[in-house]
Amino acid sequence: MTIETITILTGAGISAESGIATFRDPGGIWAQYDIEDVATPEAFARNPELVLDFYNMRREKVRKAKPNAAHHALAKLQKSYPGTVHIITQNVDNLHEKGGAEVIHMHGAHHTALCAACGARWPAPPAMALHDPCPECGQPATRPDVVWFGEVPYHMDRIGEILQSTDLFVSIGTSGAVYPAAGFVRLARAAGAEALELNLERSEITPLFTESRHGPATELVPAWVDGLL
Ligand code: APR
């Protein structure tokens, strides 16, 4: 089968070797913080300072991080592949962009701020403060532009269309624990795609893939890309 369209889903594992902690590995972010304290709309309503501090700290960490060999390899694939390469990321870091790729941020991004009052977006300041006014409407309703638990991920219509018309779906560095992203492999396969998983270890959804390779992203991803180009 000719592979004209490749759709790649990335998760925290692709940025792990850039020094950004994953969520569910031992010592990961959800072992240090409670989701209910920092990653829900209710948490932000209850204790906005705590939530802003958490994201300010993570934004600062990401600002200093550099893309690794896996991010660079995907950017190379996107530029050089004779067909179409879509990259959808669950990550809120900008390491794909720093590596030269164009990505769809389904869970939002640290580098933008969102106005909860009017929906405007603008480049996030290094540290967001509670009463920062929105540059569009002036309301003191600034919030991180990240999708919290209980909110709807971004760009789902476009992602649905992409998954319908892909020949190969590739999942990189994600545990498959969080929906809707964890369901993308099923949608792509139902539409006739092959599916490859590149992850440090078996994930919760490994059996859904046609092939699964295990190891660090900085080794697996460049090797896979070199094999394709
Ligand atoms: N190379 C490849 N894979 C790795 C590496 C590595 N160096 N290090 C860790 N992994 C794998 C882990 O084995 C695990 O399966 O990456 C996966 C990371 O899983 P999670 O921590 O659950 O991250 P992710 O799947 O991106 O989480 C999904 O959950 O809370 C949220 O919104 C957050 O977008 C995130 C979503």
Q: Which of 90-94, 127-131, 147-151 bottoms out in mean pLDDT, i.e. has the lowest?
A: 127-131
Please check whether residues 16 and 77 belong to one and the same domain: yes
Pairing label, strands 142-146, 108-115: antiparallel
Shortest-distance atom of ligand 1 to CA 181: 28
Return the CATH number at 30. Answer: 3.30.1600.10
pLDDT band at 130 (very low <50, low <70, confident <90, very high): confident
Helix (H), strand (E) counts: the chain: 9, 9
Whole-number percent of the chain with pLDDT over 90:
98
Q: Kindly give the number of the ligand 1 atom that is closest to the alpha carbon of 90.
A: 34
Q: Say whether both 118 and 15 belong to one domain.
A: no
Domain that holds residue 137: 22-64+112-146
The answer on 229 and 123 residing in a single domain is no
How remote is the CA of residue 133 from the centroid of ligand 1, in Å? 34
Q: Tens digit of pLDDT for each residue in 146-184?
A: 999 999 999 999 999 999 999 999 999 999 999 999 999
Q: How far apart are CA 225 and CA 229, in angstroms?
A: 6
Tell me, yes or no, whether 38 and 76 share the same domain: no
How far is 14 from 65, CA to CA, in rounded Å? 13
CA 6 – ligand 1 centroid, Å: 21
Q: Is residue 1 predicted with pLDDT exceeding 80?
A: no
Looking at the structure, tell me whether residues 26 and 15 fall in a common domain: no
Query: How many domains, the chain?
Result: 2
Per-residue pLDDT, 104: 98
Same domain, 54 and 37: yes
Question: What is the layout of strands, in order, in the sheet containing 104-105?
Answer: 104-105, 84-89, 5-10, 168-172, 194-199, 211-214
Ligand 1 centre and the CA of 12: distance in Å? 4
Whether residue 57 is found in the same domain as residue 161: no
Which residues does the annotation mark as catalytic? Answer: 107
Residues 123, 219, single domain; the answer is no
User: At residue 194, does pLDDT exceed 90?
Assistant: yes
Q: pLDDT value at position 59?
A: 97
pTM metric for this prediction: 0.98
Q: What is the 3-state secondary structure (H, E, C) of 81-107?
A: CCCEEEEEECCCCCHHHHCCCCCEECC
Going by CA atoms, what residue is nearest to atom 7 of ligand 1? 216
Please give all residues whose beta carbon lies within 6 A of any atom in ligand 1, as ranges. Answer: 11-13, 16-17, 22-25, 28, 90, 107, 173-175, 177-178, 199-201, 203, 216-217
Q: Is the same domain home to 206 and 158? A: yes
Residues 162 and 229 in one domain: yes
What pLDDT, on the 0 to 100 scale, is given for residue 184?
Answer: 98
- CATH number of the domain at 7, please: 3.40.50.1220
Q: Are residues 159 and 203 in the same domain?
A: yes
pLDDT, mean over the chain: 97
How far apart CA 193 and CA 186 sit, in angstroms, is: 9
Check whether residue 102 and residue 214 sit in a common domain: yes
